[in-house]
Amino acid sequence: MSQSPNSVNVDQDVEVLMRDGCSLQADVYRPAQAPEELPVLVLRTPYDRRVTNQTVMAPAEWYASQGFIVVCQDARGRFASDGEFDPFTNEALDGHDTVEWAARLGGSTGEVGLYGASYAGYNQLLTAVTRPPSLKAIAPVISGSDLASEWIYPSGVLNLNFVVWWSAFLGLDMAKRSGDDEHFQALAAIVADPTAALALSPSAVEPLMKLPVYRRFIGAEVDDDWWSENRVLSRISSIDVPTILVGGWYDVFNEGSIAAFRQLAETSDEHRLLIGPWCHVPWSAYMGDLSYGGQAWGNVVDHAVAGFFRYHLKGEGKPSESPVSYFTIFDNVWAEADQWPPGGTIPRRWFLGSEGLANSAGGDGTLTEEPSAGDSPDYFVYDPAGPVPSLGGFSCCFEEVAPLGPRDQRPIEARRDVLVYTTEPLDELLLAGPGYVDVWISTRAVSADYLVRLCVVEEEESINISEGIVSLSEEEIAETGDNGLQLRISLRNIAAKVRTGSRLRLHITGGSFPAFPINPQTGGTSPDGQPSPPAPASHTVYHDETRPSHLELTILPIGDEASNAGFRRIGI
């Protein structure tokens, strides 16, 4: 046993046996001056237990200093633990067994909580579905709730940047354990700079294709059972312990955290949702081209999680009265609500319009609250050889290798393959919830993607706050009628203040690379079975009396805040 300067003792390399005899390694942290018994917090991670999830959350010593025994464990087949690693496959039962083992630790009250971020958050949900008797609360942070529709295929489109980088990152320990140094070095090069692999050339992705996890993610190996068995959202009602879900407006998995909370809130009022202004990593008070102020540092998460566990595992303190706490971008304040979206929100609609030349921010695209009667359609040509680049956004996992966060979109808006529609200066608005774009299109492409992006324009700076994408197959495009094809593209949830004099702006284009793969616009395969060569194609966007393309957002009316149940400022 070692004792750290902050009076937390650590038992290292503690063996935890699973029901099948597999040995997992853990470290156990205890306050040196602990009372006779304490509840246990368990963190289970594939990213080396010794790091204790510190990339985003406070070190294990800090949580122990808050009056808990803390267990940090390597997942099966990772780092010091035995067995074979297959992402998520064993986490439900291994988590169940670890919870019950932790409850029997000397000095434990027998009550256990699970905490951790990203993978270490998702595996909590998998474990909680099995209902371990000793599990009393969980804290899944930036984890989402559905592997298919959030982690790997948001809106049905491969989450390219994330899948390439994360697969290579997971593969590092696999190659190291197998003693394949050449494979390790090739994967390390992708982790450091995934640019070549993102182009998906055969030679660049060869190291990835050796990984079963990558082949599964890209559909090279069909494994329907794996997807269904590890999908939590469809079984979320099985979770019967208080849960605090934490997300970030620019986090790749935030939509899943919101969806999980909304379902859990129907079963109990003990669940909580906290959403900050953050990307997946890091949780900073400044991100991209925005500064949020000192109240936005990620330490707020650790205090919220520790307070949640103190109440539910120790009966100390008092939980927040409101189930939802969220950060409002541009206003830079925390607020509370009784639900998400907040009570009292209303839809508000803006219609697309132009004189037929909405290309770029210098075009004539408009957003107005009255539909246009006889507008000319807009046209753009999308060329897969020169795709629209991702600038900021909602990918994962580090800014150095992924398009993350709020960025000034003016370089994107200078392109003529991006249609841009902008409102006149607005009175103050509070956006609080999801949105969508209804748009009528036609195209000469065989297959196509359509990406929409919502921005707030202050003076000249145009900051992205939400986006959505849809991918159309050859069969779907073939259904285009004389009036075009109507698409509904969902926009991510957001809480943002549009200050008086600012404007809303909408982009429509054919993709965002490397956040998403480049659609070749020529279908899937050619007659000889080879991938179809990419080709430029023209696209038409309609907005007239019979095809009223529009943007709809969720608005929280601004009034007397004391009487507005949907918006209560708080100090965090």
395: which strand partners? none
Q: Evaluate if residue 560 carries a pLDDT over 60.
A: no
Q: Which region holds residue 118: left if phi is over 0, alpha if psi is between -120 and 50, else beta?
A: left
pLDDT band per the 50, 70, 90 thresholds, residue 215: very high
Listing DSSP states for 407-433 in one string gives -B-HHHHT-TTSEEEEPPP---EEEEE
Residue 360 pLDDT > 80, yes or no?
Answer: yes
Nearest Cα neighbor of 394 from 147, 150, 87 is 150
The 3-state DSSP class for residue 274 equals strand
Token pair 């050339």: residue: 201
pLDDT for 282 equals 82
List all residues 6 or more positions away from 93 whose beta carbon is below 8 Å from its beta carbon: 18, 19, 130
Residue among 96, 101, 93, 75 at smallest CA distance from 17: 101
pTM of the model: 0.94
More confident residue, 533 or 407: 407
Express each pLDDT in 373-390 by its tens digit: 777 999 999 999 999 999
Of the candidates 21, 241, 214, 228, the residue with the CA atom closest to the CA atom of residue 124: 241
Quick one: pLDDT band at residue 220, thresholds 50, 70, 90? Answer: low
- CA-to-CA dists, residue 533 to 152, 378, 523, angstroms: 24, 26, 9
Cβ within 8 Å of residue 335, ≥6 positions away: 325, 326, 327, 328, 495, 567, 568, 569, 570
The CATH class, in words, for 346-556 is: mainly beta
DSSP designation for 434: E
**What are the residues whose beta carbons fall under 8 Å from the beta carbon of 24, sequence distance 6 or more?**
15, 16, 17, 18, 73, 74, 75, 76, 81, 82, 83, 94, 98
Q: How confident is the model at residue 562 (pLDDT cuts 50, 70, 90)?
A: very low
DSSP 332-347: TEEEEESSSSPTT-EE
* Residue 430, pLDDT score: 98
Q: Name residue 496's beta-bridge partners.
A: 329, 431
Q: Parallel, antiparallel, or unpaired for β 461-472 and 404-405? A: unpaired
Q: pLDDT tens digit string along 267-278?
A: 999 999 999 999
Residue-wise pLDDT tens digits, 292-347:
999 999 999 999 999 999 999 999 998 788 999 999 999 999 999 999 999 999 99
Average pLDDT over residues 30-35: 87
Angle between helices 181-192 and 160-178 (to 10 degrees): 150
Closest CA to 85 of 75, 93, 77, 97: 77
Residues 437, 469 contacting (CB under 8 angstroms): no
Q: State residue 571's pLDDT score.
A: 53
The predicted pLDDT at position 320 comes to 81
pLDDT band with cut points at 50, 70 and 90 for residue 559: confident
**Domain limits, the chain:** 8-146+231-337, 154-226, 346-556
Per-residue pLDDT tens for 165-186?
A: 999 999 999 999 999 999 999 9
Asked if CATH classification 3.40.50.1820 holds for the domain at 8-146+231-337, the reply, yes or no, is yes
- State what percent of residues in the chain have pLDDT above 70: 95
